[in-house]
Amino acid sequence: MIDIDGGPLKGNRCVFRPLDREDFPTLGDWLARSHVRTWWHHDPSPASIAEDFGPGVDGEEAVEYFVVSIDGTEFSAIPQVPRVGQPSMRVYGLSADPASDAHPCDLRGDLGSSPGKAVFGFPHAAGAPWLSYSDIGQVYVHDRQLGLTFRLDHARDRVLASAFPGLTRDGRVIYGATWQDCADAQACPRKAGYVVVDPHQSRAWRDHWRAQGRPPPRACITRAEVLAERTRFARMHGLPQ
């Protein structure tokens, strides 16, 4: 992992420090860098930074800004623009012991694409948590153990994902979308709501294992698994079952 100047990052722990006005020159310098402006189009002038960030720093707005130094535990997926090659979102791992002075920031996953945001799923017995993201109206899951990304199928016509997807604890993907129940716009007006999908039933997932000449390790998320997770959640939070 590299810092903003292209040198190796030497981190000790993950620290979130509130931004203050003394950081504004540094913030302006970061925002003026060409590889930052590729993703974040913000006027780096002192006046613009003071206007946009000053009220939050001074407590006049209900927003908080932080300067983050990284080391601790795996917690996020970040877009990265490489100096050579295609932009790609990568997952970096950080040591589980934040008190240690020696933690490498190791690369643990590369989505091979650059969505604006990817969301982690929950840990499971089969391996590292999957990630989900949307891009140009489509929804994808990334299997970090295989290092592959799979596009999810649409069960309706003209489906357009309109909100970032997430992964439930039982492994399904949920996202906000608009759709039509048939291709005829007159007969089937556009609807909006939430879509819940089992990624193991997607054509891309099944095609991958068919090409390997093997059955998929998991054919579907069963109703029993969903009910078991609902029961576990209800017990944890003292809810009626």
pLDDT in tens, 131-168: 999 888 889 999 988 989 999 988 777 888 888 899 99
Instruction: Give the chain's mean pLDDT.
Output: 80
Q: Is the pLDDT of residue 211 over 90?
A: yes
- pLDDT of 16 > 90? The answer is no
On the CB side of 41, CA atoms within 13 Å amount to 1
pLDDT bin (cut points 50, 70, 90) of residue 101 is low
Checking if the pLDDT of 174 tops 70, the result is: yes
Structure tokens at 177: 């979308």
pLDDT at 1: 41
pLDDT (tens digit per residue) in 50-93: 998 888 888 887 666 777 665 543 333 344 455 456 677 777 77
Q: Both tokens of residue 218?
A: 């998991």
Residues 6 or more apart whose CB falls under 8 angstroms from that of 111 comprise 77, 88, 89, 90, 91, 118, 131, 133, 142, 149
Closest-CA residue to 120 (of 151, 142, 150): 142
Predicted pLDDT at 221: 94
pLDDT above 80: residue 171: yes
Domain ranges of the chain: 26-64, 115-241
Kindly state the average pLDDT of the residues 83-109. 68
- pLDDT of 190 strictly over 70: yes
The residue with greater pLDDT, 89 or 230, is: 230
- Higher-pLDDT residue of 237, 13: 237
